[in-house]
Structure 1
Amino acid sequence: MSDQLLLIGGKYVPARDGQVFPVTSPTTGERLADVASADPADADAAVTAAHAAFHDWSTTSYVERRRILLRAADLLEEHAPEHYDALTLETGAVRGWGEMNIHEAAANLREAAALTSTPTGTLLPSHDPRTTNMSLRGPAGVVLAMIPWNAPVVLAARAVAIALAAGNTVILRPSELAPHSAGHLLAAALTRAGLPDGVINVLTCSPGTSRELVATLIARTEVRRVVFIGSTPVGRAIAQVAGAHLTPAVMELGGKNVTLVLDDADLDRAADLLTVAAFANSGQVCMSTDRVLVPRRHYDHLLARVTAKAQALTVGDPRTPGTDIGPLINRRAATHFRELVADAREHGATVLAGGGHTDGLLARPTVLGNVGRTARLAREEAFSPLVAVEPCQDEADMIQRANDSDYGLIASVLSADADRGVAVARRIHVGAVHINGPSVGDEPHVPFGGVGLSGFGRLGGAEAWHFFTEQKTLYCHG
């Protein structure tokens, strides 16, 4: 991977003060690149470029916007193998996770392309027959989108594809842990597809400098929408800045996600689904299940099945075929994983698989039973290959425990009776629920987002189109 510059106004440029920061691979430990670290002056330049491009892009035919988005989707998939390799080196993802990122990112671009011909207004009645009232929607302006490292390409596409389809211009601020995968990769595909200069810009910044950079960006009046996908503490701080400037924002934040295994569920299938839900991408997914609720009479059976599945997973170099679990993203993540397991043990938990140890950044999938309500794991997002299985008295107890959380991103309900599963799902206070499927998964045309500490607003589908557009009413008097 070559050194990374800033993308401003269609040109790749160094930071104005010449500052760079290193990006290190969790897979190999090698230094992958020196990356430009933007400062407030670079932020101002990016906003100026995006604003200058806004008029022409917002008035570009929807046919042309659709063509560019579709071509970018094709380009992503045409170059998929090299993208998989980049993801593996930069984030530690196994090939299957890389494949999902590229193909789902392409799907998001294609879905956005289909929305370019969304009706732009409606006619409304008036008390005066000589008057025609029209409600129109148009692009909002410059969109600031901040993207995490863990599912970088698909989340970048989710954050910006519909914004571009609606005629907005974009500034991408990717995670400092994956600046290529979370920003430059998608921007390059869009640029090669014909996106005009300045319509998408990429600002990277070193750890510890993001707060000032983001504050500078949001303070500019041309920035009319903010999208943040990431942790709850950082999202809270960004939401406060956006609120101070009355800038509408979508916050897609962390989760403390739960799967409810009802008393009629197939336990073998449940174990298969939980293996995906808890351990995909080493559990480093906002939608990962890290709590499983099960009736007490099925507790031992399900625990044994999940433990066997966890122990059978292959942990190692994600470049090696057959590896199921790659490394955690960095030492901080590895330390957090070990601390959560140690704390759970101190509060009486039983370790059935794994054990909270790491070999460098490699962590064995860990299954815990009898996690006490006072343990950190009972409240904190694990974001690691870690799942706790909890015995419950009955369905009502399961629902009460599922809702005993300040988070509310996603959940899963497993039952032999789909109608029963839907009925239980309706009582869980989260943004989305899978019935008889793993909690990890969404579709580009479906609204996605959380409640509580998991954020607010929705990305995907018509709700995202409305977020990225402004509404204007015209009163046409006869």
Structure 2
Amino acid sequence: MLLFIDGKHVPARDGATFASRSPVTGEVLADVADASPADGLLAVAAAGRAFAEWSRVSFAERRAVLLRAADLLEADFPRTRDSLALEVGAVRGWAEMNTAEAAATLREAAGLASSPLGSVLPSADPSGANLSLRTAAGVVLAIVPWNAPVVLAARSVAIALALGNTVILRPSEQAPHAAGHLLADVLTRAGAPAGVVNVVTCSPSRSKELVASLVAEPAVRRVVFIGSTPVGRSIASVAGNALTPAVLELGGKNPTLVLSDADLDTAADHVAFAAFANSGQVCMSTDRVLVAAPVFAELCERVAARAAALSIGDPRLDTTAVGPLITDAAAARFTSLVADSVSRGARVLTGGSADGRYATPTVLTDVSAESQLYSTESFAPLITLQPFADEPAMIAAANDTPYGLIASVLSSDASHAWHLARSLRCGAVHVNGPSVGDEPHVPFGGLAASGSGRLGGVESVLTFTEQRTFYLHGTEVLPNP
């Protein structure tokens, strides 16, 4: 698998490669080009050259490319499903969601290609006028994770492309195809000119140096990073030094609050989906369930039953609900978190073990505040349930975290749930829905250690453009309002 720079598939300049291995079979799926900073410079130069033309073409042309790409992505679903299953362990439902939401994201971006990008302002000079315009920022570097690769790649770059920016995708080494080449391929086939979309892959050993060099390049005017908080902090530091705006969508320790009047069957369904979708490897996954004491025992029973009923195995089979964790290290971390919690008094209601990379959906109670799991994002099929005597204590516990990504509140009284939702310090809250879920026209992002900036919706028009002001003196070209 080669780099994709300036419309051509090329090897790394020094010929270096790394192996992309399947979490399902362990087999080598591809020898992937391992880019160095020198390769990154070639991608920046190509994207910079393409920007001069792409930023000036009609918005209708950019819109048409994005709409064609959405159609192609949906038409390619059988191939996409196979790729996601083998490359990242995605089951059929997760692959379907990735494809559908990525296509919807491309179409939503197409609609924003003709967004209002300026205003006429009055001048103190009756013969003058002032224009405030927003223009495409330039080259956008998007660093895309492996867990929801297609939709997150689309979310990172679709609106940027619609507004006339060019992009460099740096996909996770775990998903070089699904998080990079797949989207670049459909956009290119849809008519994106050479250099508008570029893909630069690299191994973990080269990633830090490559990303730092790309972020520091003056032609790179926006950075999008979706991933862990520690890496996000590092990227933010480099971007800040370069005075390059960065959108950071980072980790979370996401709570679901179940009130005493909630329908417990529905609540158990929402919790099980939010905790175990994609084996819990989702930034929006529910890590902890905060439950009103009167319904705690009954909810524990129902959530544990749903977890125990989930089928675990090969994601290529339609009957599989839970696939593998992405690496052996992720499986070892899951086992360690469970063992540490149990050693400090936690009870295992179901699960708790792993067979290789296949971790059983696990439900714990009585998790001590001293355990690692209490404050650490699990990123595995692992949740904790905790009872609370009153709602103020529940809200305090939900907010007792440095993170602030997403939450859920479940109650039969939607008005009351909405009232509590407003007390939660996070970027998004689902009222009577699972925490895993978003829509492409809605801005998404976190607070505090969960990141900064927003992707999606009209806010992204501001993210991917620069504001420029023009003072027209005495020209009488425009009427003075």
Whether TM exceeds 0.5 here: the answer is yes
1:153 counterpart = 2:150:
yes
Relative to the length of structure 1, the TM-score reads 0.98
C-alpha separation in 2, matches of 1:320 and 1:76: 22
Is the CA contact (8 Å cut-off) linking 2:260 and 2:293 kept in structure 1?
no
Structure 1: which 5+ residue stretches go unaligned? none
Aligned to 2:477: none
Aligned to 1:180: 177
1:424 counterpart = 2:420:
yes
Aligned to 2:268: 271
2:63 to 55, 63, 66: 66
* TM-superposed deviation, 1:235: 0.7
C-alpha separation in 2, matches of 1:91 and 1:447: 26
Aligned to 1:397: 393
Q: Secondary structure of 1:208's partner?
A: helix
Runs of 4+ in 1 over 6 A off after TM superposition: none
2:203 to 201, 206, 209: 206
Aligned to 2:117: 120
* TM-superposed deviation, 1:463: 0.8
Equivalent positions of 1:112-261 (< 5 A) are: 112-261=109-258
Encode CA deviations 1:417-445: one digit per residue, 9 max, x unaligned.
Answer: 11111111111000000000000000001
| Aligned residue type for 1:143 | V
Equivalent positions of 1:320-331 (< 5 A) are: 320-331=317-328
1:370 to 366, 371, 379: 366
Aligned to 1:316: 313
Aligned to 2:403: 407
C-alpha separation in 2, matches of 1:204 and 1:406: 32
* TM-superposed deviation, 1:125: 2.4
C-alpha separation in 2, matches of 1:72 and 1:129: 48
Q: Secondary structure of 1:405's partner?
A: coil
1:283 counterpart = 2:280:
yes
C-alpha separation in 2, matches of 1:212 and 1:366: 38
Aligned to 1:51: 48
Q: Secondary structure of 2:120's partner?
A: strand
Over aligned residue pairs, what C-alpha RMSD do you find?
0.7
| Aligned residue type for 1:314 | S
* TM-superposed deviation, 1:373: 1.1
C-alpha separation in 2, matches of 1:208 and 1:422: 46
1:451 counterpart = 2:478:
no
Aligned to 1:90: 87
Report which stretch shifted further, 258-267 or 279-288: 258-267
* TM-superposed deviation, 1:416: 0.7
| Aligned residue type for 2:109 | A
C-alpha separation in 2, matches of 1:443 and 1:260: 22
Q: Secondary structure of 1:407's partner?
A: coil
Aligned to 1:20: 17
C-alpha separation in 1, matches of 2:15 and 2:141: 23
Q: Secondary structure of 1:453's partner?
A: helix
1:35 counterpart = 2:21:
no
Aligned to 1:341: 338
* TM-superposed deviation, 1:126: 2.7
* TM-superposed deviation, 1:127: 3.0
Equivalent positions of 1:299-314 (< 5 A) are: 299-314=296-311
* TM-superposed deviation, 1:130: 2.5
1:102 to 99, 107, 112: 99
2:469 to 443, 452, 473: 473
Encode CA deviations 1:450-478: one digit per residue, 9 max, x unaligned.
Answer: 01110000000111110000000111122
C-alpha separation in 1, matches of 2:442 and 2:342: 39
Aligned to 2:357: 361
Is the CA contact (8 Å cut-off) linking 2:74 and 2:100 kept in structure 1?
yes
* TM-superposed deviation, 1:319: 1.1
* TM-superposed deviation, 1:208: 1.8
C-alpha separation in 2, matches of 1:360 and 1:212: 32
* TM-superposed deviation, 1:298: 1.2
| Aligned residue type for 2:464 | F
Q: Secondary structure of 1:221's partner?
A: coil
Encode CA deviations 1:66-92: one digit per residue, 9 max, x unaligned.
Answer: 000000000000111110000000000
| Aligned residue type for 1:54 | F
Report which stretch shifted further, 294-303 or 16-25: 294-303
* TM-superposed deviation, 1:217: 0.7
C-alpha separation in 2, matches of 1:206 and 1:385: 27
C-alpha separation in 2, matches of 1:381 and 1:409: 11
C-alpha separation in 2, matches of 1:325 and 1:147: 23
C-alpha separation in 1, matches of 2:123 and 2:387: 60
Encode CA deviations 1:5-63: one digit per residue, 9 max, x unaligned.
Answer: 00011100000000000011011111110000000110110000000110100001000
C-alpha separation in 1, matches of 2:139 and 2:454: 18
1:461 to 457, 462, 469: 457
Report which stretch shifted further, 146-155 or 20-29: 20-29
| Aligned residue type for 1:120 | L
C-alpha separation in 1, matches of 2:123 and 2:319: 66
| Aligned residue type for 1:322 | T
C-alpha separation in 2, matches of 1:341 and 1:211: 31
Aligned to 1:111: 108
* TM-superposed deviation, 1:320: 1.4
* TM-superposed deviation, 1:165: 0.3
C-alpha separation in 1, matches of 2:166 and 2:313: 41
Structure 2: which 5+ residue stretches go unaligned? 475-481
| Aligned residue type for 2:413 | D
